[in-house]
A and B are shown apart, each in its own frame.
Chain A
Amino acid sequence: MNALQPLRTATGSTRGASITAHNLTKVYGSGPSAFHALGPIDLDIAPGEFVSLIGPSGCGKSTTMLLVSGLEPVSDGSVAVDGRPLTAPISEVGIVFQDHLLLEFRTAMNNVMLQQQIRGLGRAEMRARADALFERLGLTGAEDRYPWQLSGGMRQRVSIARALVHDPTMLLMDEPFGALDAISRTQIRHDLEMLWMETKKTVLFITHSIEEAVGLSDRVLVMSTSPGRIVEEIRIDLPRPRPAHLGEYPEFSTYARRIFDIFEKLGVYRFK
């Protein structure tokens, strides 16, 4: 690790932003076909905090993410980033979806450098950051490969590099490891935690996986469906970096059990 360039200087030193939301509500459509997807919910995320949203499909997790970044307009309520009310999409953000959404006609490096081209940032400086991220994410040597030449895990790593290369203040991840195999998922989870510990971006992490939520987060927000609401907030007090095998911590199963019990109470699970 010592041989590596320190990431905080290589990829910039912008700290995470705070995110506050009040009465956040989203209704899609209007009239009788209107669908009340979310809220009202309140959020208060500290700078550099790692927060997970967990809940069944259709509980408004993804909607929450799109609202706090200004990518979708709110139906009601307000969002503030670093205390400034949000009125347009913020650009100090990196986004990772379940699909890697890489451009198939660009190499791994050029996919990441799309940020530089579109934002019109300095090429050499951004390339240095991209190189540092590639090194950190185990992508060295894959720079000139096209997405179809990469494994699913590597594609998602490139997608993470693209989300971080411009040194954003927040990282939004919508089930980023959902499409990966269990082995890749464990590895990439660890790598993301290490990267986050170093850069301290504010992360809003959406997942279906109790293990991912407990394994990564400072705080887990459990959500319920129709309309999406936050039903419980669980602070995860486990030391970092957390081990790949979370069972080493007895507290892990206590946390996992708590989320599981909420799911059962909500009727997410129906066991006979």
Chain B
Amino acid sequence: MSAPAAHDAPPAVLTEAQARRALPALNWLGTIVYAVIAVTVLLGLWEALIRIYQVPIWLVPKPTDFLARLVTDAPLLLEHAGVTATTIVLGFLLGVAVAVPAGFLIVSFGALERGLYPVIVFLNIMPKTVIGPILIVWFGIGPLVSVLIVFLMCFFPIMVDAMSGFRAVDPKLAYITRSMGATPLQELRHIRIPAAMPSIYAGMKIGIVKAVEGVIIAEFIASEAGLGFLIMRASSFMDLTLMFAGLIATALLALAVNAVLMSGERLLMPWARRPA
């Protein structure tokens, strides 16, 4: 998509090696330029249509309206985004901390796997948000319910992928490690955990998307802070511009959380195959 930008680079000025080094940067820049142009055109069209047909602001706000709110209400949005981010991080970390050992235990004990399989299938297919009202009864409105819903949302994808990761070790490799006299703990530390890391991480990437989804729903129903709560409250005041601003803030937060996870991947798995 961004190839033209690269071709536009004057070839005579750069040596081939320089060009090759510059190419990713140019591609990256090109991608951003294209994205900005596309978004600007789209928002411009939106703005124009609203103005031409004089749609009232309480029905559909103009981009200029809600983009302005993003600036004027920045402190408010940031405050609630902070609450939402904290909830995501806590629920997600709790999910990883429970799902990975649980996946390992289930894979390690065949009886556990056979016994728990129907339960796992049932809980995995059940929409986790239906537990929300039950949790409210147990814990009341507050941050704990949101954290628990986020935990439940990301728990299963992480556990299922961790299980396949722990299973993936070639049984022939066990012959080699056994000939080395490896203890079960050594095998876990040197082989099984690092071997399962890519799968666990794949599960975490699905889990974080679920976590963001879960946190907003949780804040809709069971919270007095956070972006979900802010949007819900704005809705009861018919403050559509703030709702749109909240929507954008939520998307930006999701992007940020994803970016953190992606950079963590490079840090934790330096061996991973990466395009040169």
Contact = CB atoms under 8 A, between A and B. Distances in A.
Interface string B105-131: 000000000000000000000000000
A71 B179 CA distance: 7
B178 A103 contact: no
B273 A118 contact: no
Given A104-B271, A146-B271, A95 B191 contact: no
A66 B172 CA distance: 11
Contact of A71 (B170, B178, B194): B178
Interface residues of B, number: 20
B192 to A, nearest CB: 11
Contacts of A97: 172, 175-176
Nearest to B269: A105
A101 B180 contact: no
B178 A101 contact: no
- What secondary structure prevails in chain B residues at the interface with A? helix
Given A97-B172, A99-B172, A117-B190, A105 B179 contact: no
Contacts, number: 56
A104 B180 CA distance: 19
Nearest to A62: B172
Interface residues of A, number: 26
B197 A105 contact: yes
Contacts of B258: none
B275 to A, nearest CB: 12
B248 interface: no
Given A91-B180, A114-B180, A101 B172 contact: yes
A169 B141 CA distance: 68
Interface of A: 66, 69, 71, 89-91, 93-95, 97, 99, 101, 103-107, 114-115, 117-119, 146, 148, 162, 166
Given A71-B175, A107-B271, A118-B190, 19 more contacts: A89-B179, A91-B179, A91-B180, A91-B181, A93-B179, A95-B175, A99-B172, A101-B172, A101-B173, A101-B176, A103-B194, A103-B195, A105-B194, A105-B197, A106-B194, A118-B180, A118-B181, A119-B181, A148-B273
